[in-house]
Structure 1
């Protein structure tokens, strides 16, 4: 099925976007989604999966709104190419103004890009959408939700927050899409997905799109779906068709030189350099900028406002046409003009390799992908080639294309201990001090020597006495005490003896000693008057 069976208002937007023929994932998904079936589809980034669920859902909403308005007005529907049976399958029954389609994305970047695609594809439809994600103001989002929009594109965290504040009514959801479902599981959104699905009506359409149909994805599909249709695009089709990928075997120290040489050789209009480590992103950006190549970097170290500024500068392409990124942006970038991708390090996950090179070669254009492979990347290379089912071609750079005059690669930042560890007056734990074997003179303390930052303040290297009594005197003087530690200890001992002697005196008044006739052992008997007399009379009678 092509695009011809879609709503006429959608076809106008497709022509403006130059969408002529559907991709394999679009051709497989669009008919089933139009019929209202639940779908679990495998689709890599760059294969057109966003349009695969946006186009049929927009078609269903448009026809549902039209059918509802016709029923309310009482006019008869106009005859078109669809039969009554096909039209009944396509529409959402009893569509209301507050009903909406929910599209969930794992990251803010993906949510924003789906929103941009929605505006392009639905520019002639009159449909509205609201994008909801963290790092932005609540006010505009709440206003649109109260007004009612047919499409809500959101990240799980912010959507749940709005639901708990009663700004989102999940009972109005007619279809839910989990885009990049496998990444949602990787990011720990499994419980959030179940939380939302349990509060969405069971009579809704469920669509899951994932890079891999793993156990977690299929479990959600079959637990909450209604006989979902599994659509598995083969790996050859999932990999971008117009991308030529190759690799370079080299040493780790040669990577910066080869990277710079590739950029100067092919002169890309826009290129993305992927690294596995966020601290490497900053170093690569500094290296490229120092050698006259304008570059910007994006990683998890940036907040949302900084990411937006970086991406806007890169998309404009006026002053920064090289983007250095980690895998946090691998599935979150949708830029049509990227014509070269460089893997500075190979990813550990083979699927991320396909996601990375899928950033180029879009919209039928050719793209190049280069991988810089050193000894540390050999294990990842074997996994990637096993996943793809073929060997990645090996390439090399001619000597005349190799740049020799360049600024060196920045060294890794040195470890700097915290400010607390750098304090000079930190005292060691008690019992771990090393006592000096030789006796030295006691430390002289004066008002001038106790200034902040003075050498007398430092414990290390100070001339301390090895005598405990002398050290205690210095300590008592420093703390403002009038007596030494030994004097205080003697006073406490004296008081203790006084208390114990008082106790003995009082106890001697309360008890007396009496010798039994049988033995010479001493027995303490109470001196209470009544009891003592009775006991004495008892013993007198006993021995008479």
Structure 2
């Protein structure tokens, strides 16, 4: 379908042609007319399908009609100055991408847009709001901060868009989304776009009084037909050589390498750079300035350029010249696989996507093939094509870890099929406090052999086993130490470091094991074997107990 059939404002139509758009994509063809009719939309579409333009184009058209022809059916009823469109996204990169598209599509219209997120100048953002905006593109956290400081008035929002809503839920923005929706007028237009319209997304939409028109771009349409994907069955230890070999064989213009481990990003990038393949890393461990610099360099360089990234870090990247995607590890969920390979084959160009499959990736591969309804081709490298002389990768390659030690960068936890978090535990990784001691001095005496300490005394299994009130000599020596007197022998009660742990509980202190038990610990006295002596002592002990 041609954009001219929508009969858009001439200024908007000129901007669309300037961007090189002529024909609509399936999501645009179905979504634009519904938004122009002021209806709510819940769209199921992957990245790379043109969904950003699917909601930006009709919203620009509606604002232009509101300002030039308020009675037009496409106009927002009773549009006033300083009213705006609010677009919420999960990541900073996606905010920048959408804002860039708005600026280009609104060229020559006088409409203003600005991206808001943490890690950038706060004063500049406040100044932009003060001057008035038609589009606010923001991550939830920064928007709520601005709202609480009275820089944003949610009552002026005429339409609200949640882009990649499923990812926002996965990243923990559910409460923020509800907070914002609860403060926006119910008469607003609500547009939700997601790769998966799961129960939580549906429930949130209906909870706030919306009955959207659902638009479902099928999986076959979502997966670009001009992307050829293939797999290589290979062990983890052979991945570095395979990575070099594939890149040198294909000789691509730009490459994105995905890894499930944020700690693996720099390791892979350094490995490639050390082997004469320029590479940069992009992960959540970087601050916003560093991330922006990496993305800018990756977009600007025209020579061989490799970007190593996690799912979350690469979310929202829109780079048309990427002709190869490599999955260094297979993603745990099928949706992330489609997102990854969607980084190539954009703007009508052909692309390649290769995945390294180790033994632990077999289940993930099955889920992807079931999701895409397509058997992925298996490829092999000839022995002559494999690079054998190269500088090795650092030994701490996190891909060698078991899958349950991993965390995907798509933000999903173990319950959703993703690798586990590598972050701190619920206690924040802090060392736990020891159990309180009723008598610290007593415990110290037990540990060191008396209040004055001193060297550990060697325990001799052959020593006399004199009984005192039914207890062994070890108990007698311990009783003297507790009472403060210095025992003549056996200051220190030996314990087996492999099986016994010090217990400072009062009840435990009253139960002292006989000396024969601890005699099972090997003695390292000089000369001869002690196994017979220790064994004999144990036998004597059990004879005394059981007769």
TM-score if structure 2 supplies the norm length? 0.73
User: Is the contact made by 2:66 and 2:72 (CA closer than 8 Å) also made in structure 1?
Assistant: no
Q: What does 1:102-501 align with in structure 2 at a 5 Å threshold?
A: 102-317=86-301, 321-412=305-396, 431=443
Which is higher, the Rg of structure 1 or of structure 2? 1
- 1:485 aligns with none
Q: 1:429 to 1:212 in 2, by over 3 A?
A: farther
Q: Shift in Å at residue 470 of structure 1?
A: 9.4
Q: Shift in Å at residue 226 of structure 1?
A: 3.6
Could you list the runs of 4 or more consecutive aligned residues of structure 1 that deviate by over 4 angstroms after TM superposition?
Answer: 432-438, 440-443, 466-471
User: Is the contact made by 1:314 and 1:320 (CA closer than 8 Å) also made in structure 2?
Assistant: no
Q: Shift in Å at residue 351 of structure 1?
A: 0.3
User: Is the contact made by 2:253 and 2:304 (CA closer than 8 Å) also made in structure 1?
Assistant: no
Q: Distance in 1 between matches of 2:76 and 2:222?
A: 31
Q: Shift in Å at residue 88 of structure 1?
A: 3.0
Q: Distance in 2 between matches of 1:283 and 1:429?
A: 50
Q: Shift in Å at residue 67 of structure 1?
A: 2.0
- 2:58 aligns with 56
Q: 1:170 to 1:393 in 2, by over 3 A?
A: same
Q: Shift in Å at residue 398 of structure 1?
A: 2.1
- 2:412 aligns with none
TM-score if structure 1 supplies the norm length? 0.73
Deviations 1:373-400 (A, max 9, x none): 0101111111111111121111111223
- 2:39 aligns with 37
What SS is found at the alignment partner of 2:72? helix
- 1:16 aligns with 18
> RMSD in angstroms over aligned alpha carbons?
2.7
Q: Shift in Å at residue 318 of structure 1?
A: 5.5
What SS is found at the alignment partner of 1:90? coil
Q: 1:219 to 1:167 in 2, by over 3 A?
A: same
Q: 1:246 to 1:166 in 2, by over 3 A?
A: same
- 2:85 aligns with 101
User: Is the contact made by 1:42 and 1:210 (CA closer than 8 Å) also made in structure 2?
Assistant: yes
- 1:47 aligned residue (49, 59, 71): 49
User: Is the contact made by 1:111 and 1:154 (CA closer than 8 Å) also made in structure 2?
Assistant: yes
What SS is found at the alignment partner of 1:297? strand
- 1:28 aligns with 30
User: Is the contact made by 2:163 and 2:194 (CA closer than 8 Å) also made in structure 1?
Assistant: yes
Q: Distance in 2 between matches of 1:236 and 1:131?
A: 32
Deviations 1:457-509 (A, max 9, x none): xxxxxxxxx997899xxxxxxxxxxxxxxxxxxxxxxxxxxxxxxxxxxxxxx
With 193-202 and 349-358 compared, the bigger mean Cα shift is at: 193-202
> Structure 2 unaligned runs (5+)?
399-428, 432-439, 456-479, 488-547
- 1:3 aligns with 3
What SS is found at the alignment partner of 1:431? helix
Q: Distance in 1 between matches of 2:243 and 2:155?
A: 52
Q: Distance in 2 between matches of 1:406 and 1:433?
A: 59
Q: Shift in Å at residue 306 of structure 1?
A: 1.4
